[in-house]
Amino acid sequence: MTVRLSRRVTRMQPSASIAAKQRVTELQAQGKEIIDFTIGEPDMDTPAHIVQGAIDAMRGGDTHYTPTAGVAPLRQAIADKLRRDAGHDYTAAQVIVGSGAKQLINESFAATLDDGDEVIVPAPYWVSYPDIVTLYDGVPVVVPTTAANDFKLTPQALAAALTPRTRWVVLNAPGNPGGAIYTRDELRALADVLAGHPEVMVMTDDIYEYLAYDQHRHVNLVAAAPELAARTLLINGFSKSYAMTGWRIGYAAGPQALINAMGKLIGQSTTCVSSIAQAGALTALKGDQEFIEETRQVYEHRRDVMHKAVSAIPGVDCRLPQGAFYLFPSVQALLGKRTPGGQVVADDRDLVMYLLDEAGVAVMDGSAYGMPGHLRLSFATSLQTIERGCARMAQACARLA
């Protein structure tokens, strides 16, 4: 029997980052030494006091279903955190907890998109945005940015992309993969454009909020433009800030009607987030916050080391990212060259495979992020790994004719 799949699922692409990680795992299982720069998660373990908080909750019998939107103490703690960091008074009822930020992005689009509705997605973008939009019958409108502008959406580009069908604008900062962080003035300028389009909502994905380097600091849109709070959905989570990727817990805050609709969808799918993960998340918010600054400093040093090494490779042009934990260099000058075996490196995907086969280094292609001719390299790994991997890449690139 042949299983007939829906048009909805067949038009989706597999997650490029998950596929890359799976390929690395397969090669390593074959005994090959692969230096992995595809990693999109902290390489540190979850802080011990957060783990202990979850253990204590389990031993205390906190192993049952919770309210769909999350337990009240956690939602209130998130509201308190947002009041401090985002500069807006959210009530606990305006907060919903999900099984990772990705679930909440899915639910928000599922709750609001109808056939043909458009979602503006600046490129480079996190790989899943366009496919999640497509899944719910929306149309992703990809708006290119430039390295010269640090991969940020400009007011002029936003204004040109808006149409009567526009339903959402997605802003991700610090950005994956470009590392962009918007200043308050830049956000204010975008808000001025949106003022003339009251039907358009904004999704701000702040998952990397604490990973800001040098003089840069993350500012949320509602802090820069409070008048947009009624149509802004803030997405965040615990994965990057507290090294809790495997815990699968994120949160969203926004208009009450949207939060209620998202809760209805979660109630018919996953019911609620694991009570144990929620206990860990509450411990994270209430406990010692030193881990955040300590890891930020570690990443900043790794960024500098990797940026220096990658920038020294002839044919590679790399901007210094303002935040997150990725480099996103242009490799246009390497395309069209030939490998030692005589094969033409026609595009960034070919270069990715060449580096994997020739150097044993796994990176992501920029095409997966809506910007061909680039690579994404994660520096969420040890300094030794960064130095060895960059040295291998440099040697492999030097062998291109």
Write out the H or E segment, with its range, that includes residue 237: strand 232-237
Q: What is the DSSP secondary-structure string of 325-343? A: TEE--B-GGGTT-B-TTS-
Distance CA 3, CA 1 (A): 6
Distance CA 378, CA 130 (A): 21
Q: Which residues of the chain have pLDDT under 70?
A: 16-17
The C-alpha angle with vertex 145 and arms to 142 and 148, in degrees rounded to 5, equals 170
The C-alpha angle with vertex 326 and arms to 125 and 343, in degrees rounded to 5, equals 85
pLDDT at 87: 80
Sorted by where each begins, the domain ranges of the chain are: 7-45+291-398, 49-286
Question: CB burial class (10 A; 0-12, 13-18, 19+) of residue 152?
Answer: buried
Would you say domain 49-286 falls under CATH 3.30.565.10? no
pLDDT at 16: 64
State pLDDT tens for residues 95-113: 999 999 999 999 999 999 9
Would you say domain 7-45+291-398 falls under CATH 3.40.50.300? no
pLDDT at 38: 92
Write out the H or E segment, with its range, that includes residue 129: helix 128-135
Distance CA 283, CA 212 (A): 23
Residues 6+ apart with CB under 8 A from 113: 119, 133, 136, 137, 138, 167, 168
pLDDT at 39: 86
**Cβ–Cβ < 8 Å for 120, 163:** no
pLDDT at 17: 65
State pLDDT tens for residues 381-398: 999 999 999 999 999 999
Helices (H) and strands (E) in the chain, counts: 14, 12
